[in-house]
Chains A and B, each alone.
Chain A
Amino acid sequence: MSDAISVSHDNGVAAARAYSRQAVAPPVDVYENADEVLIVADVPGVPDENMDLKVENDTLTLEARRGPAKEEHPALAREFEALDFSASFRIPAGIEASAVSAESKNGTLTVHLPKAAAAKPRKITVHSES
């Protein structure tokens, strides 16, 4: 089941987040069609309430905190750190910033950036004068 994530909008300067834990940029796919730009990011292990999406002026910021940093048991082998995720994207012109939405499923976050009506390709019918 997909869960909707709330996206916060801010026209002011972002409050500086003192991040004492390291963050990595998640692998992302970026797609575009006539109606929207789509960003898909792999963010495993992040509870919905820890997903922080912000749209500020022309920047989309994602910050996702994973669970507690402390591991309860000794590790015999470690290939991934439970690091937080952080990424920012410049939103291209023509995006309806207030309509940005996101949902998460199975550790993958999908962000929809709808294009403003004026930016959508418009077919212009040519009438002939006869």
Chain B
Amino acid sequence: MLTGWIGFDDTLRALDLLQQHMDRSLDPWVGSGKRFARSARPVEAVWPATNVFETKEAFLVKAEVPGMAEGGIAVSVEDDSLVIRGERKSEVPEGYKVHLRERPSIAFTRKLALPARVDAEAVSATLSRGVLTITLPKSKEALPHQIAVKSA
């Protein structure tokens, strides 16, 4: 299959294809759900994945943290940044053989710089169905200011 020196990229690609063929033939579980569906982003890439939204009065941060209960997450505001710290434990159940493992245990610290000052005392967070929603009210200075125009 590999003849001579093809080049580093091609070699890696060929090995990757070979690995995929081997996976499919040796273990029916690998790839069974994935052939026609795009995979969700790789778990280890950046955890948790977060989206940041802005309303007139606050920033909303949504983070995907499946498998976590409230006790495992610490949310804090440090120097105009939002810090989300925690550990998602994912243990292999005792006595079971592993066919496929795509959900690792993961300890994380994410720091998100906020575009404006927030009222740290008023930050709140809720966790529901594996989605963490953090509301960060903008501080008074950051809120839009109406300036009255007086005639001179």
Residues of A bordering B, CB below 8 Å: 22-33, 37-38, 40, 42-47, 71-80, 83, 85-90, 92, 104, 106-108
Does A47 lie within 8 Å of B129, measured CB to CB? yes
Cβ of B109 to closest chain A Cβ, rounded Å: 16
Residues of B bordering A, CB below 8 Å: 28-29, 32-34, 37-41, 43, 46, 49-55, 59-60, 64-69, 90, 92-93, 95-103, 112, 115, 127, 129-131
Cα A87 to Cα B30 with chains together (Å): 12
Given contacts A43-B66, A76-B53, A77-B51, contact A107 B131 (CB under 8 A): yes
Does A89 lie within 8 Å of B130, measured CB to CB? no
Which residue from chain A places its CB closest to the CB of B114 in the assembled complex? A76
Q: Within 8 Å CB of B52, what residues of A? A: 75-78
Main secondary structure of the interface of A (DSSP, over half): strand
Contact of B99 among A30, A77, A78, A108 (CB under 8 A): A30
Does B37 lie within 8 Å of A25, measured CB to CB? yes
Given contacts A31-B99, A73-B53, contact A42 B32 (CB under 8 A): no
Cβ of B106 to closest chain A Cβ, rounded Å: 11
Does B60 lie within 8 Å of A44, measured CB to CB? no
Cβ of A54 to closest chain B Cβ, rounded Å: 13
Cα A32 to Cα B99 with chains together (Å): 7
Does A44 lie within 8 Å of B65, measured CB to CB? yes
Does A27 lie within 8 Å of B103, measured CB to CB? yes
Cβ of B14 to closest chain A Cβ, rounded Å: 25
Given contacts A28-B103, A79-B49, A80-B49, contact A108 B38 (CB under 8 A): no
Does A30 lie within 8 Å of B54, measured CB to CB? no
Which residue from chain A places its CB closest to the CB of B59 in the assembled complex? A76
Does B102 lie within 8 Å of A28, measured CB to CB? yes
Q: Within 8 Å CB of B29, what residues of A? A: 30, 89
Cα A74 to Cα B101 with chains together (Å): 35
Does B130 lie within 8 Å of A73, measured CB to CB? no
Cβ of B125 to closest chain A Cβ, rounded Å: 15
Does B37 lie within 8 Å of A108, measured CB to CB? no
